[in-house]
A = this chain, B = another copy of it.
Amino acid sequence: MYDFDADIADCARAVEQALDRFVSAEVLSGPGSAPARLIAAMRHGSLNGGKRLRPLLVRQAAAVFGVAPALALTAGLAVEALHCYSLIHDDLPAMDDDDLRRGRPTVHKAFDDATAILAGDGLLTHAFGLLATPDAHPDPAVRIALVAELAQGSGAGGMVGGQMRDIEGEQGGFSGNEIAQMQAMKTGALIRASVRIGAIIGGADARALSALTAYAEAAGRAFQLADDILDVTATAEAMGKATGKDAAAGKQTLVGQLGVEGARLQLASIANEALAALRTFGPKADGLRASARYFAEREN
């Protein structure tokens, strides 16, 4: 019987421990040694007690093919390092200008803007470095497929492009379709990459990869819609970050267009879509099923 609470807690613990080891002077040395201030900023921005949902999706997608959690950890760390870099850069004054993240000062507040830019760059680079190590997968052909997947999900046609669209959208005038497209890139693309990376580690064939991609795209939309609803309904205390920011920034969200109740109805429908994409998979996909439900029902 699959236990979501145990899985998410175990995954978060494993990721935190592994980041503690991998975001360190020893591992980050290259032709020179990484400066202490840079390592401290990279650690501040990654060892933050996050929920580690993306590594969870990597391990859950790999579990569909019987892969043990430990064998999906390094790839999960790479995705998480990528996610953490994106938060550090998004929080910069030139971008979303956030002072608080998980109840702590953001990296540029705890250090300074230059250090935050470099810490983000360092984590982004390290994500690909992690995928290149044999720990990510024994077969180099699989590792290079993981690199391609992460680059595509996080690049200009994915996460980075979504952040660009989000900034452009602050001027207003986005249609519902354009908002959905922006969110599919900004948040959805890395969730999609997480699931596909787990599937690739598991040796998924084309049909399974396609089904899991459909799952991931729906799950990503559910995640983002829940986030938008929480931005309106939750308190800053429960979220560990400022809420009501989207409206204050004039940001376009689907909640603004559908209202909270309309958005909740749509959220339930998207979550069902995610579950439907998994119908050909047996109990080994229970982890992914639980995550889709969690994304739709989470309260912080």
A contact set with B: CB distance below 8 Å: 28-35, 37-39, 42, 85, 89, 92, 94-95, 112-115, 117-118, 120-122, 124-126, 128-129, 131-133, 140-141, 143-145, 147-148, 150-158, 160-165, 167-168, 181, 184-185, 188-189, 192, 217
Contact = CB atoms under 8 A, between A and B. Distances in A.
Contacts of A158: 30-32
Given A121-B89, A152-B129, A168-B37, A30 B161 contact: yes
Given A30-B157, A153-B30, A156-B38, A164 B89 contact: no
A94 B121 contact: no
A176 to B, nearest CB: 16
A88 B300 CA distance: 36
Query: What does DSSP make chain A's interface, helix, strand, loop or mixed?
Result: helix
Contacts of A117: 89, 92, 94-95, 117
For this chain, the copies found in one complex come to 2
Given A164-B35, A168-B37, A122 B156 contact: yes
Given A31-B188, A121-B124, A189-B30, A144 B155 contact: no
Contacts of A150: 128
A133 B148 contact: yes
A204 to B, nearest CB: 17
Contact of A154 (B125, B140, B163, B164): B125
A153 B30 CA distance: 6
Contacts of A129: 147-148, 151-152, 155
| Residue among A115, A118, A168 with most chain B CB within 10 A | A118
